[in-house]
Amino acid sequence: MPRPVIIDCDPGLDDALALLLALGSPAEVEVLAVTVVAGNAPLALTEINARKVLALGGRPDIRVHAGCARPLVRTPVLAADVHGKTGLDGYDLPEPGAPLAKAHGVDAIIELLCARPAGTVTLCPIGPLTNVAMAMVKAPEIVPRIREIVLMGGAIGLGNTTPSAEFNVFVDPQAADVVFRAGAPLVLCPLELTHQALVTPARLAGIRALGTAVSAAVTGLLEFYNVYHRTEHGRAGGPLHDPCVIAYLLQPELFEGRDCHVEVEIQSELTIGRTVIDWHGRGRPDRGPKPANAKVLSKLDTDGFFALLTERLARLPL
């Protein structure tokens, strides 16, 4: 039976690839709904972008719920410099194939977790954690019903938005703090992992060679995405952060990591949004280590990852 998932996202170019990877894998994952949040782009764009990607993938029937338009406490931070003004610059995607679902994204998360048997639904947050945190605060009874939360966010070392913080956690550190303290099983895909999944020219050529409408769209989006990463960071291509979450559900053998205690800095303006990952289990000299609360992934079989992504994109639309 496929694993039921809720994908909480802020599309975003790499979010689009994560959604398409899930759509191309119906034997392994059942996308119950997509909830969207402000992050890479404002909410008014992320809800449209999610519906466009679902239309491209041939699944406009999947519900899209608009969630929170701003972080819990802080001023909104966007990423137009990376993803463009629309959040999905680089290719004219098809118009949405269905209207936005009426229920708020937070309420949709609560409703779906309560409607399904406890321990069966996996949450896949690949944007700021505002929606997930709000659902936990509004209905704490959902936490023990969650099978697992597999999320993209944080860093073991340096950030990509500040010297200390990765974008998704920096945008709403208070929400991330709620999620990491909640007690649900967590799997974390940090920057050290996702920066291994670079869209090199050869890998992009492999996607282009599929010769489908989906591959043409993906190629256009990734070419735009690569320009920023090559010019601003000197990389061979852009890192596919968010698809790592879906790939882990599909083929966990591609990944390596270890169980760690993770906390989020929410007080210091200098390091706010930093994920403090106790990689070596040191804790503090006066207290000792705290129990692990997350599996932190650090190594990726990159060739296996891109083989999986390309093969699943070739299936779309189903």
- Pairwise CA distance, residues 69 & 172, whole Å: 12
Per-residue pLDDT reduced to its tens digit, 23-69 = 999 999 999 999 999 999 999 999 999 999 999 999 999 999 999 99
**pLDDT, averaged across the chain:** 96
Q: Is the dihedral of CA 49, 147, 155, 297 positive or negative?
A: negative
- Angstrom CA distances, 102 to 54, 105, 106, 133, stand at 17, 9, 12, 20
pTM confidence score: 0.97
pLDDT in tens, the chain (318 residues): 999 999 999 999 999 999 999 999 999 999 999 999 999 999 999 999 999 999 999 999 999 999 999 999 999 999 988 899 999 999 999 999 999 999 999 999 999 999 999 999 999 999 999 999 999 999 999 999 999 999 999 999 999 999 999 999 999 999 999 999 999 999 999 999 999 999 999 999 999 999 999 999 999 999 999 888 877 777 888 999 999 999 999 999 999 999 999 999 999 999 999 999 999 999 988 888 999 999 999 999 999 999 999 999 999 998
Cα–Cα distances (Å) from 185 to 29, 121, 167, 300, in that order, read 18, 12, 22, 21
pLDDT tens-digit profile of 224-235?
998 888 777 778
Lookup: tokens for 299: 């190594």
* Residues known to be catalytic: 241
Instruction: Specify the long-range contacts of residues 110-114, CB closer than 8 Å, at least 24 apart.
Output: 110/135, 110/138, 110/139, 110/142, 112/6, 112/32, 112/33, 113/6, 113/142, 113/145, 113/146, 114/139, 114/141, 114/142, 114/145
Domain 3-313 has CATH 3.90.245.10: yes
Which sequence spans correspond to the domains of the chain?
Answer: 3-313
Please state the φ and ψ torsions of residue 305, each to the nearest 5 degrees: -60, -50
Give backbone dihedrals phi and psi of 221, rounded to 5 degrees, phi first. Answer: -65, -45
- Written as one letter, the residue type at 182 is A
Query: Which run of H or of E encompasses 259?
Result: strand 255-260
CA distance 18 to 148: 17
